[in-house]
Amino acid sequence: MTVLNRYPTWKNVLVVLVVLIGLLFALPNVFGDDPAIQISLESTQPLDDLTVTRVEGVMQQAGITHRAAYLEEGRVMVRFPSVEEQLKALDLVRDDLGAGYVAALTLAPRTPAWLRSMGLRPMSLGLDLRGGVYFLYEVDMEAAIGQALDRYESDFRSMLRDEKIRYASVTHDGKRVVIVLRSPEDMAAAEQLIQDADPDLVVDTSSAGADYEVRVRLSEDQIRQRQDFAIQQNTVTLRNRVNELGVAEPVVQRQGVDRIVVQLPGVQDPAQAERVLGATATLEFRLVDENNNPFEAQSRGRAPLGSKLYQHRDGRPVLLKRDVIVTGDQLTDAASGFSEGQPAVFVDLDAKGARKMGETTQQNLNKGMAVVFIEQKRETVERDGQMVDVTRVEEEVISVATIRGVFSSSFMITGLDPVEARDLALLLRAGSLAAPIYKVEERTIGPSLGQDNIDKGMRAVLIGFVLVVLFMGIYYKLFGLVADLAVLSNLVLIIALLSMLQASLTLPGIAGIVLTTGMAVDANVLIFERIREELKNGNSPQASIQAGYEKAFSSIADANVTTLIAAVVLFTFGTGPIRGFAVTLSLGILTSMFTAIVGTRAVINVIYGRRRVKRLAI
């Protein structure tokens, strides 16, 4: 009898190599996690072994027990036997290292050093499994447009002054900038000046009596670009602020048109995170109007032309020039400290801001300059019987100082208490938001809930796996046991791929693994039933095996490709947990195709392929 089922040697070698590599990459998931602290530099520069030695020395002097301390991707990771030791070490390390370092609580895998040296890591756990805080923010797109118009208003005022064009007022209503002029000649000159400066702006003119108006608004493309910039810049800023908070493995990503998701694994107290992430604080530096009396302006209820009335934090009124010298988004670095025993924030400006500050201080020696602290908040108020959200802008002068010398790129801000100085430095260092954001949703997931989710998910995987193994073994006998081996290999390969890709495993992701556990045997069921049909038709066992695999392949491919398309669609258009499900489902489909078709064929050919067979155990 001719032996029909000898598999090529390279295919057998391929199956063995894939399974061995899968076992190796899945191995780090066996060892579990330890409470740990992660130490990095605020500048994101990599640390060295000297920092590891320093941290170990500090903990040894304090009698704190730790399991291991090592470098991982330029950061120091220290693992502890208990949470109590972890918390004590965190305070100690922060006090010893001081400013410039970020120490964060985290969980570190107990992966052996030889596996870490190969760059192997366990799969990442999502927020619903690990515990932490979830925020969903909405970006105020109308405010983003308003801020752009604020800048245009200031720029137009400077341009008209430079060109000696007389104007009565330059204002905006949130939709357009309105310039009021005194003559038609000035109106034509102003229109031409604006169009030359920015051809994309839409400029209209009108006249009523002695007033000649030039109305300027953003084009549709400019509005769309500004909105896209606002959400992209806010995403970057929030990511920087999360890094400043010292949270390990955070997730900050855009969701939909105007929303941003922030996930902070391991953070159980959302108060500080919310205060820093949601803050829309920024600064403006303005010259003091020393030619007018602020108390008179306050009593009249309006400021003189070219000035704006503010309130100092001590309650007194302050008149400031309308032209802004420098804004918070021109700061490149900020650090809190002390100057002459008083809290201070030391700031550095970019090239444009430094040049403007240098020119201003040179031309205004011995005159006053103020720092304006601006914060935007959203409130819910009743209007026409309905509750609506409105934006409220709070502006206060936090510091007024006399310019005693020329400075440009570096200077300091005083007039704050220590906590305000620290928080303001953090916000300025991380960057100001391009538009206000408002919290839409907040969820805090405790670590016990996360562990409970893991336990239930693993129990579901185990029960599903055991039931499939029993059914296949009883119904298909030896062939069923081979299929069970394929299902086990499939689980190993899914875990290995999740570890390789560092894709976060979420609770829906576990559901995807449970689903693929059942789907993994579908292909083998089709193959085995086809083999049974071939045997009933009188074909030889070897011919039936070959026909079963070849004739069932098209049906298997069609079924899996359609499911894979659905998984790709879920990943493309879904967010968060839906993507987690789509990832594990996609990986499960690919691995099950390999294990069910190539893997089981190799094993069955090892069993039956090199001998004459009269009967199959199927």
379 pLDDT higher than 70: no
Give the pLDDT of residue 319: 92
Most confident of 173-177, 178-182, 588-592: 588-592
The DSSP element (H or E) to which 381 belongs, if any, is strand 368-383
Let me know if residue 519 belongs to a domain: yes
Quote the CA–CA distance of 359 and 366 in Å, as a whole number.
14
14 pLDDT higher than 60: yes
> How far is the first Cα of the chain from the last one, in angstroms, to the nearest whole number?
21
Is the same domain home to 103 and 166?
A: no
Number of domains in the chain: 4
Let me know if residue 234 belongs to a domain: no
Among 110, 131, 152, the domain-final residue is 110
Let me know if residue 458 belongs to a domain: yes
Is the same domain home to 478 and 371?
A: no
Among 222, 243, 270, the domain-final residue is 222
Most confident of 72-86, 328-342, 390-404, 450-464: 72-86
Quote the CA–CA distance of 516 and 295 in Å, as a whole number.
74
209 pLDDT higher than 70: no
Strands 317-327 and 282-288: antiparallel
77 pLDDT higher than 50: yes
CA distance readout (Å), 502 to 214, 437, 570: 56, 30, 19
Residue with tokens 């090239």: 351
CA torsion through residues 589, 590, 591, 595, sign: positive
20 pLDDT band (50/70/90 cuts)? very high
243 pLDDT higher than 80: no
350 pLDDT band (50/70/90 cuts)? confident
576 pLDDT band (50/70/90 cuts)? low
Could you say which DSSP state residue 45 is in?
Answer: P
Let me know if residue 243 belongs to a domain: no
Let me know if residue 308 belongs to a domain: yes
310 pLDDT higher than 80: yes
Q: Which long-range contacts (CB under 8 A, 24 or more apart) does 150-157 make?
A: 152/177, 152/201, 152/216, 153/177, 154/322, 154/323, 154/324, 155/197, 156/194, 156/216, 157/322, 157/323
Let me know if residue 617 belongs to a domain: no
Is the same domain home to 400 and 321?
A: yes
Quote the CA–CA distance of 532 and 515 in Å, as a whole number.
26
Q: Mean of the pLDDT values across residues 320-343?
A: 79
Sequence-distant (6+) residues with CB within 8 A of 34 are: 67, 79, 80, 81, 107, 108, 109, 110
Is the same domain home to 476 and 392?
A: no
Is the same domain home to 349 and 287?
A: yes
Most confident of 520-524, 555-559, 587-591: 587-591
Is the same domain home to 97 and 158?
A: no
281 pLDDT higher than 70: no
Q: Mean of the pLDDT values across residues 252-274?
A: 74
550 pLDDT band (50/70/90 cuts)? confident
504 pLDDT higher than 80: no
Determine the structural domain holding residue 338 and report its residue range: 281-432
Quote the CA–CA distance of 101 and 78 in Å, as a whole number.
15
Q: Mean of the pLDDT values across residues 129-142?
A: 81
Q: Which CATH number characterizes residue 466's domain?
A: 1.20.1640.10
* CA proximity to 235, closest of 261, 202, 205, 256: 261
Is the same domain home to 462 and 419?
A: no
Quote the CA–CA distance of 460 and 366 in Å, as a whole number.
74
Q: Which amino acid is at 131?
A: G
Give the pLDDT of residue 17: 92
Q: Which CATH number characterizes residue 334's domain?
A: 3.30.1360.200
What six digits make up the tokens of 295?
Answer: 């108390």
Residue with the bigger pLDDT between 290 and 504: it is 290
Q: Which CATH number characterizes residue 197's domain?
A: 3.30.70
Give the pLDDT of residue 336: 77
Is the same domain home to 520 and 586?
A: yes
1 pLDDT higher than 50: no
The percent of residues in the chain predicted with pLDDT above 90, rounded, is 2
Predicted TM-score of the model (pTM): 0.59
CA distance readout (Å), 217 to 91, 160, 172: 53, 17, 9
CA distance readout (Å), 414 to 343, 345, 452: 6, 7, 49
Weakest-pLDDT range from 23-32, 53-62, 366-375, 426-435: 426-435
451 pLDDT higher than 80: no
Q: Rounded to the nearest 10 degrees, what angle do helices 522-536 and 541-573 cross at?
A: 150
On whether the CB atoms of residues 585 and 567 are closer than 8 A, the answer is yes
Give the pLDDT of residue 2: 47
Q: Which CATH number characterizes residue 43's domain?
A: 3.30.70.260
Let me know if residue 257 belongs to a domain: no
268 pLDDT higher than 60: no
Among 376, 400, 432, the domain-final residue is 432
Mean pLDDT estimate for the chain? 80
402 pLDDT band (50/70/90 cuts)? confident
21 pLDDT band (50/70/90 cuts)? very high
Is the same domain home to 288 and 424?
A: yes
430 pLDDT higher than 70: no
267 pLDDT higher than 70: no
What six digits make up the tokens of 105?
Answer: 């609580």
Is the same domain home to 458 and 312?
A: no
Is the same domain home to 532 and 464?
A: yes
Q: What backbone phi and psi angles, to 5 degrees, belong to 592?
A: -70, -35
552 pLDDT band (50/70/90 cuts)? confident
Give the pLDDT of residue 337: 79
Q: Mean of the pLDDT values across residues 208-227?
A: 81
6 pLDDT higher than 70: no
Is the same domain home to 99 and 15?
A: no
Let me know if residue 88 belongs to a domain: yes
Strands 410-413 and 342-349: antiparallel
